[in-house]
Amino acid sequence: MSDDKFPGWHGTTIIGVRKGGKVVIAGDGQVSVGQTVMKGTARKVRRLSPGGMDVVAGFAGSTADAFTLLERLETKLEAVPGQLARAAVELAKDWRTDKYLKNLEAMLIVTDGKDLFVITGAGDVLEPEHDVTAIGSGGNFALAAGRAMMDTEKDAETIARDAMKIAADICVYTNGNLTVETIDA
């Protein structure tokens, strides 16, 4: 979407946290246009099961674009079951080079419980250094809050929820209506 056609669209906040044998992806439910909240209960974290292998994915950006990417990721995972890293790299490669896909505007956080990645349209497959990653309008707020809590006694889900609460308190494009998915490492 070009900004001249849809000015002021703002997405969401998604965080991924790996700690204590669990990986949690949490996302808020807000979709805003300019100063208006269009929807407060969108579901931007999903559990996929391609080939019987559980994968959790969260997305920020255009919903239609994100669903297209999630479908492509499922296809890649069906071709290489249990190999999230390989499927993510193949998706990123297609996303960067394919004439249609390279125009998609979204980002993904994906995990199979073992690996945790951010996949971007620039061809990046990024694994977080500190077991916390975040994307979207309030992503930097959630990332900073999550990183600050990693050395505490809190578990992965509590860190994700608390970081999202902090992001929602700071970022006007983030709310407290969370979807949270957990997967064992």
Annotated binding site for Na(+): 168, 171, 174
CB-facing half-sphere around the CA of 23: CA atoms within 13 A: 24
Task: Give the pair of three-digit tokens for residue 37.
Answer: 């909240």
Q: Which residues are annotated as catalytic?
A: 12
Would you list which residues are annotated within the binding site?
A: 168, 171, 174
